[in-house]
Structure 1
């Protein structure tokens, strides 16, 4: 099995570095951080973490080919591969429509722009010239082969990942839907190293109630932006999510968090060490081979990484 931890966009570089050092010591295979537009750059913490570690692979999840040109993405990846001895992982995605439009950027359809960006970056990193570019538009310092993961939730993006990427960061909400995600990625038998990361919302704490409350707050905050069809397919009561969102809209975040019930908490994994172990063992038994632990994680990110590494990973 593979294990990774994901920290959100805007995570301070020093915090990400400390989490990377802890994750490496405790047996994690990968650590990722985001790069949402208008937050702190995700490239800086990735670089700092690579400098502070020697084994763990460090990834950007995810860069988009709109605000960053594919040539720039390939240049960044090549530089980080050279610096790290090949430990950098490149995450690509469509980027947030909202944030990109705030910046006045013109957008092609999400799958189209991601596919075109992926192909251009891949071609550059393997020493070629992308279709339609000038014949001299190749990386001047030589190829830098890099694993490319797509960040995906929807069927079309998942299928694109299965066809053309080396892995997928699949945000599984709820985790029990992993078979749905795997089916849409499709048959990757011809790519035995393809990495389907089951990305989870996880909140772990010595205090079980504190862990559950932290996940409830995250679910409340995102209650209005989750895909309704996906929630319905997983057997959730859509009216509950609408009620929580109405409280968020009214500005009563405490009431919204309190309104997240036990069934809604199925969207992620929350509680103490034993709760997290039990849920993760169920996922392993169902065939999951890469568990990726994402925020909220814990009140202290470093302490949450330590709890996962010391107490959860040994059971898996």
Structure 2
């Protein structure tokens, strides 16, 4: 099985826990560390920059940066800086944001998908070193070109869960990040929607990121059941995995069989040992995936 195995730094854990988790994830031989940008918790870009600086090999993904919160030019500058500083190790992802949070922030727009489309198109051109002039509904640029564009191609992922967002990802994104933990059947349907849209415009969507909420150790099933409602999931729907290495590996494998190429294990909010969980994933779960 070729699925990438990673761990997420969930913003239900304090920012100061990130360093220990990032170093442990790299020491455990995991492929990826994913950081979040949920309002009003932690900065995704600050977290990604710190994690990249504290490690040497592991890939760091950021999903998802809300487009309404961020100037397109500034986002391009920030992505390019990290991409040049840590070539090949940073995967940025942008989305249209949770609309209630965008409203709280005073940046909610009438058409989130129009903004995301304009934002993605301009970002892609800027990161490719092009000069961009645009006069869209939301993104307006006048002769903007990065002085220090990335020296190697930067994947620009996007995603969400709605069918129109999934279709836009297939049309413009380099990878799909499923913003919520989903069942394997949900993942399969989402991947089909995005890949159909990619095929319609002559593209191929190769990368798909999915999340698996995990609890292990004593009372794992009870802890998972208590965690799922925080993310709008019914404990009876079969989302997440609880138990030992066999159960966790089976959960990862099910998402991979549904089309995920990268799976991030999401610790519960009450996880007492983030470093220990990372070590467990590398020592016990990863070998079972290889088998």
The 3-state SS of whatever aligns with 2:83 is helix
| Residue 158 of structure 2 is aligned to residue 180 of structure 1 | no
The 3-state SS of whatever aligns with 1:36 is coil
Q: Compute the TM-score of the two structures, normalised by the length of structure 1.
A: 0.79
Q: Which protein is bigger by CA-based radius of gyration?
A: 1
Q: Compute the TM-score of the two structures, normalised by the length of structure 2.
A: 0.85
Q: 1:139 to 1:183 in 2, by over 3 A?
A: same
Look up the match of 2:173: 165
Q: 1:178 to 1:31 in 2, by over 3 A?
A: same
Look up the match of 1:76: 78
Q: Distance in 1 between matches of 2:13 and 2:49?
A: 13
Look up the match of 2:36: 34
CA contact (8 A) 1:7 1:33 kept: yes
Look up the match of 2:249: 277
1:217 alignment partner, one of 214, 226, 232: 226
Quote the RMSD (CA, aligned, Å): 2.4
Look up the match of 1:111: 113
| Residue 266 of structure 2 is aligned to residue 291 of structure 1 | no
Aligned length: 276
| Residue 142 of structure 2 is aligned to residue 140 of structure 1 | no
Identify the range of structure 1 (22-31 vs 115-124) with the bigger mean alpha-carbon deviation: 22-31
Look up the match of 2:288: 315
Q: CA deviation at 1:75?
A: 0.9
- Higher-RCO chain (CA-CA 8 Å, sequence separation at least 6): 2
Look up the match of 1:252: none
Identify the range of structure 1 (37-46 vs 60-69) with the bigger mean alpha-carbon deviation: 37-46
Gaps of 5+ in 1: 227-240, 242-259
CA contact (8 A) 1:81 1:88 kept: yes
CA contact (8 A) 2:210 2:262 kept: yes
The 3-state SS of whatever aligns with 2:22 is helix
Q: 1:222 to 1:50 in 2, by over 3 A?
A: closer
The 3-state SS of whatever aligns with 1:77 is helix
Deviations 1:136-190 (A, max 9, x none): 3111223453211113111111111111111111235223432211111124576
The 3-state SS of whatever aligns with 1:66 is helix
Q: 1:123 to 1:29 in 2, by over 3 A?
A: same
1:199 alignment partner, one of 195, 211, 219: 211
Deviations 1:233-264 (A, max 9, x none): xxxxxxxx6xxxxxxxxxxxxxxxxxx5xx34
Q: Distance in 1 between matches of 2:13 and 2:44?
A: 8
Q: CA deviation at 1:279?
A: 3.0
The 3-state SS of whatever aligns with 2:67 is coil
Q: Distance in 2 between matches of 1:37 and 1:118?
A: 21
Q: 1:152 to 1:66 in 2, by over 3 A?
A: same
The 3-state SS of whatever aligns with 2:69 is coil
Q: Distance in 1 between matches of 2:100 and 2:193?
A: 26
